[in-house]
A and B are shown apart, each in its own frame.
Chain A
Amino acid sequence: MAKNIQSLERAAAMLRLLAGGERRLGLSDIASSLGLAKGTAHGILRTLQAEGFVEQEAASGRYQLGAELLRLGNSYLDVHELRARALVWTDDLARSSGESVHLGVLHQRGVLIVHHVFRPDDSRQVLEVGAMQPLHSTALGKVLSAYDPVAHSEVVEAEREALTPRTTTALGDFETLLDTVRARGWAADVEETWEGVASVAAPIHDRRRMPVGAVAVTGAVERLCPDGELRPELVAAVRDCARAVSRDLGAGRF
C-alpha cells in the first residue's frame, strides 16, 4: 500500500484549520494546533503562500485563506471578462488582416464562439457569438486540444467525423498534428472543416499560464493561402494578438 505524502497531509490540515473557526491565525497557533515544529509549519505555509492558497496579513503577520482557493472553486476565467479584455486586440487583428476574427473557449465537447469581429469589408455578416464549432477540425479546436488537457481528453474520446476530405480523423495522425501545434505554438485549418475556408489560431493563456481560449483569423482559402501555404505574416499577426490578450490577462512574457 502506498504511503501518503506527509507534507501534503499537513498542508491540507492547515487549510482546514484556516477555513474553520477564527480564520486568521498566527504561526505559533497553527504549529501548536497541528503539533508541528514552528520551522516545519512555516515552510509549509510559505509554500502555500507562494501558490496563493494562503495569504499573510501584513500588519499582524497572521495567516488566512488565499484568493486562489476561491478561484479553484470556479476555475474557468469568465468568458465575458475574456471578451472585454480581447476587444481592442481582436479589432486590430481584423483590421490588419482584413479577415474576420473569432475567440473560442472549450465548452462541453466543442468550441464555443464567445467573440466575433466582422471582416472589415462592409459586407453583410452575421454575428456568430454563441455558435459551436468542432474541436478536431478547426484551428481554434486544435489549439484548445493541444494546450488544454480537458479539451484533449474530449477530442480523443469523441468520434472525429470527416467533415471534408482533408479532415484528420485517425487518432495517431491527430496526436502527431497536436504535437506540431505545440511545437509551433499555433494551429491551422485549411479546408478541414469547411470547403474553401482556411483559419489560423493561437492560444491565450491567463496569469497562471493556463490555456483559457484561442483566437483565430478565418477567411477564404484563396486569400489566406495564396500559394498553397498560409501567409507567414498572418500567423505572426494572430500570435501577436494572442500574446497581447494573454498579457492583458496577466500572463508573463513567453
Chain B
Amino acid sequence: MTDAHTSGPFIAAIDQGTTSSRCIVFDKDGRIVSVDQKEHEQIFPKPGWVEHDAAEIWTNVQEVVAGALEKAEITAADVKAIGITNQRETTLLWDKHTGEPVHNALVWQDTRTDALCRELGRNVGQDRFRRETGLPLASYFSGPKVRWLLDNVEGLRERAERGDILFGTMDSWVIWNLTGGVDGGVHVTDVTNASRTMLMNLHEMAWDERILHSMDVPAAVLPEIRSSAEVYGTVKGGILDGVPVASALGDQQAALFGQTCFAEGEAKSTYGTGTFMLMNTGEKIINSYSGLLTTVGYRIGDEKPVYALEGSIAVTGSLVQWMRDQMGLIKSAAEIETLASSVEDNGGAYFVPAFSGLFAPYWRSDARGVIAGLTRYVTKAHIARAVLEATAWQTREITDAMTKDSGVELTALKVDGGMTSNNLLMQTLSDFLDAPVVRPMVAETTCLGAAYAAGLAVGFWPDTDALRANWRRAAEWTPRMDADKRDREYKSWLKAVERSMGWLEDESDEQ
C-alpha cells in the first residue's frame, strides 16, 4: 500500500476561477490531500456585462486557503510553496495606496468592449494586432477592458497616469495581496496571463509600446512580466505567512502543465460547459491561418518560453445541460449516455450547436444552431447521440486546424473535465480523431498544474521528468471505427455545419 500521503511536505495551489475560488493541497506524488472551495457572486449590471467583486474574491481566497490547510491538518510550515492559477483575461484596476479596486473586475465573458474592439481594428479589422499578440481583437481580452475602465471611471485616467493605479488579471491581484498588498506587495503577472491581455508581444515577452499607444493604456499601470514558475515573493501575514509564492498560470495553460504536455505536439482538451484545447508547439510561435489563437503555454524560470495553439468550442457540456433543462429529454447529464447508447448510430441526424455562432475554425457570427438530416425514423435517442457526436466532431475540426497550422500530427489526446466520465463520448472522440484518447488519474489538472509549477520553482520536484513520472493513465480509448465510415460521417457533419451558416441575414439583426 502506497497510501502515505498524510506526511508532508506539501504544495498548495489556488484556483481563482470564474464561478469559485478553490485551494487544493497536494503531496509529492501529486495526490490530492484536501480541497476547499467557495463560490462568488456573478454580477450582471446589463445584458452582456459580467463583473466580479474583487474584494469578495480576495476574502474567499483567504478563506479557502485556511479551509484547505485545516482539512489537511497542516500548517504553513508543511507547505513548501503556493501556486496560482486563474480565470484568464478578467481585468481589474486598483489603487496601489489603498488596495481598493476602482471598479468591479470585468470578467472575460463581458462583451461591453465589442464596439471598442471594432473601432480599434480600424481599417485592418480584427487581425490588427495578431502578428504581435497571437490574438484577434475580441472582447475577451484584457487590453480593451483596461481602456474601457480608463475611459469610463471618473478621473481614473489621470490617477493612472500619475502612477497611483495598478492593473492586473486575477493572478496579479491575488499575488499582490498575498505578498503584502499596500505593504510592499509585488505587482507581477506571468507570461501566460500576459499573453491574454493583447498588450504583450509574443516574440519579445514584453509589453508592446505600439499597442499600448494604440489602445491608450499608460505603461505605469502594468505589472512586471515574469515566468510561470519562479518565486515572486513570500506571503506576508495570514495563515501562510512566509510561504513562497512560486507560480502563476492561466487556467487552461495550468491544465496543459498538469497534464504534463511538455513535449511539442502534446495536447490536452478540457471538457466542461465549453471545451478548451491547447497544443504544445515548443519554442515555435505558430501563426494560425485556421482561426486558432497563438498563446504562451508556460515558461519555467529562465528557460525559453514554450508556446501553444489554442482552440475553443463554445457549447459542449452546456448542450447536454440544454437537452436536460430546456428539452427535458433527460433527467441528469449522465443520462445522455444511457439514451444515446440505446441506439447503434445517429440515425442520420446531426446537431450543430452554433447557439452563438461558430467559433474556431470558422468564426462565423451569422451561424445559428441546426439539427440536420431529420426523418421520421429519428428518435430522441438518435438526437442524444448527435449531441455527443457534436462535441467529438468539433474537437476533430480543431485538431485538424492545429495539424494544418503546425504540421504536427496529434499522436494522442489527453482529456480532463466533467464530460470525461461519459464513456460513449470518449470512445466516439477516439473514433472520430482516429487517435487514442487518454484520461489521467488526477481529475484536477488545473490546480495540479499550478502546484507543479510552484513545486518546480522551489525544488520540491527536480524537473519536468519527475512530474511526468507522477502522471498516471486512468483509462484509454482506442479507435474502433473503420476509415470509410469515419470519412462518410465527417462529410455529413461538415454539410450540417454549412447549413448553420448565414442564418442571420445581417449582423445588425443580432441583439
Contacts and interface: CB of A to CB of B under 8 A. Distances in A.
A94 B337 contact: no
A231 B1 CA distance: 9
A190 interface: no
B346 to A, nearest CB: 18
A83 interface: yes
A36 interface: no
B477 to A, nearest CB: 6
Interface in B336-367: 336-338
Given A80-B338, A81-B334, A127-B475, A234 B1 contact: yes
Given A78-B332, A96-B1, A233-B3, A88 B443 contact: yes
Contacts of A92: 31-32
B442 interface: yes
Q: How large is the interface on B (under 10, 10 to 19, 20 to 34, 35 or more residues)?
A: 20 to 34
B473 interface: yes
Contact of A129 (B32, B333, B338, B423): B423
A117 interface: yes
Interface string B310-339: 000000000000000000000011111110
A81 B1 contact: no
A80 B1 contact: no
B474 interface: yes
A240 to B, nearest CB: 10
A186 interface: no
A84 B441 CA distance: 14
Contacts of A117: 441, 474-475
Interface in A92-145: 92, 94-98, 115-118, 120, 122, 125, 127, 129
A148 interface: no
Interface string A44-61: 000000000000000000
A95 B1 contact: no
A122 B473 contact: yes
Nearest to B476: A127
B2 interface: yes
Query: Which of A80, A83, A233 has the most CB atoms of chain B within a 10 A radius of its CB?
Result: A80
Contacts of A80: 334-338, 421-423
A98 B1 CA distance: 7
B29 to A, nearest CB: 8
B472 interface: yes
A233 B441 contact: no
A94 B474 contact: yes
A117 B439 CA distance: 10
Contacts of A84: 333-334, 418, 421-422
A237 B334 CA distance: 26
Given A78-B332, A78-B335, A88-B443, A118 B474 contact: yes
A237 B1 contact: yes
A23 B315 CA distance: 38
A25 interface: no
A80 B333 CA distance: 9
Contacts of B476: 118, 125, 127
Contacts of A237: 1, 3
Nearest to B32: A92
Nearest to B443: A88
A234 B334 CA distance: 30
B475 A83 contact: no
Interface residues of A, number: 28
Contacts of B472: 94-95, 118, 120, 122
A162 interface: no
Query: Which of A78, A122, A234 has the most CB atoms of chain B within a 10 A radius of its CB?
Result: A78
Interface string A68-82: 000000000011110
A87 interface: yes
A98 B3 CA distance: 9
A95 B334 contact: no
Given A96-B1, A98-B2, A234-B1, A81 B332 contact: yes
Contact of A79 (B338, B443, B474): B338
B408 to A, nearest CB: 23
B471 to A, nearest CB: 8
B1 A120 contact: no
A175 interface: no
Contact of A116 (B336, B443, B475): B475
B31 A83 contact: no
Nearest to B473: A118
Nearest to B332: A81
A117 B440 CA distance: 10
Nearest to A97: B1
A83 B1 contact: no
A102 to B, nearest CB: 12
Contacts of A122: 472-473
Contacts of A127: 475-477
A206 interface: no
Interface string A146-167: 0000000000000000000000
A91 interface: yes
A18 B37 CA distance: 43
Nearest to A123: B473
Contacts of B477: 127
A91 B443 contact: yes
Contacts of A234: 1
Query: Which of A87, A97, A125 has the most CB atoms of chain B within a 10 A radius of its CB?
Result: A87
Query: Which of A95, A96, A98, A118 has the most CB atoms of chain B within a 10 A radius of its CB?
Result: A95
Interface string B384-427: 00000000000000000000000000000000001011110000
B316 to A, nearest CB: 16
Given A80-B422, A98-B2, A127-B475, 5 more contacts: A78-B335, A84-B421, A97-B1, A122-B473, A237-B3
22 contacts: A80-B337, A80-B338, A80-B423, A81-B334, A81-B335, A83-B334, A84-B333, A84-B421, A84-B422, A87-B420, A88-B443, A94-B474, A95-B29, A96-B1, A96-B2, A96-B3, A118-B476, A120-B473, A120-B474, A125-B476, A127-B476, A237-B1
Closest 8 CB pairs of A and B: A120-B472, A80-B334, A81-B334, A80-B337, A84-B421, A96-B3, A84-B334, A233-B1
Interface of A: 78-81, 83-84, 87-88, 91-92, 94-98, 115-118, 120, 122, 125, 127, 129, 231, 233-234, 237
